[in-house]
Amino acid sequence: MNNKSKSFEQDYINYYLKKVEYIENKYPNITEKGRRTGRALKNICFFIWSYTKDENDETINLLLKASVLLSAQDDFYDNIIVDNKQKLEFYSACENVITGEKYQAIRQSQQFIELINLWKEIVKEVSCAPEHLYLYWQRKAMELNTAMIIENSILRKNNIAFNDYMETSINSFGIMFIWATYFTKKNTSNIILKKIDPILFIGAKVARLSNDIASHRTEKNKMNAVNIVKHKKSAKIYILNLIKKEQDKFNKRLLRVKIEEEIKQAIKKSVDFLVAFYKTSDFD
Global confidence as pTM = 0.92
Sign of the alpha-carbon torsion through 88, 22, 43, 270:
positive
Residue 138 lies in a domain: yes
What confidence tens digit (pLDDT) does each residue in 234-250 have?
899 999 999 999 999 99
Residue 185 lies in a domain: yes
230 or 212, greater pLDDT? 212
Residue 283 lies in a domain: no
**CATH code at 234?**
1.10.600.10
Domain range enclosing 41? 2-278
Q: Do residues 23 and 249 lie in contact, with contact meaning Cβ atoms separated by under 8 Å?
A: no
Residue 284 lies in a domain: no
Residue 81 lies in a domain: yes
Instruction: Go through 127-157 and write b for each residue having 16 or more CB atoms within 10 A of its CB, e for each that does not.
Output: eebeeebbebbbebbbbbbbbbbbbbebeee
The DSSP secondary structure of 47-92, one letter per residue, reads HHHHHHTTS-HHHHHHHHHHHHHHHHHHHHHH-TTS-HHHHHHHHH
Residue 115 lies in a domain: yes
Residue 56 lies in a domain: yes
What confidence tens digit (pLDDT) does each residue in 156-179 have?
666 788 998 999 999 999 999 999
How many domains does the chain divide into? 1
Q: Do residues 114 and 24 lie in contact, with contact meaning Cβ atoms separated by under 8 Å?
A: no
Determine the pLDDT at residue 281. 86
Residue 45 lies in a domain: yes
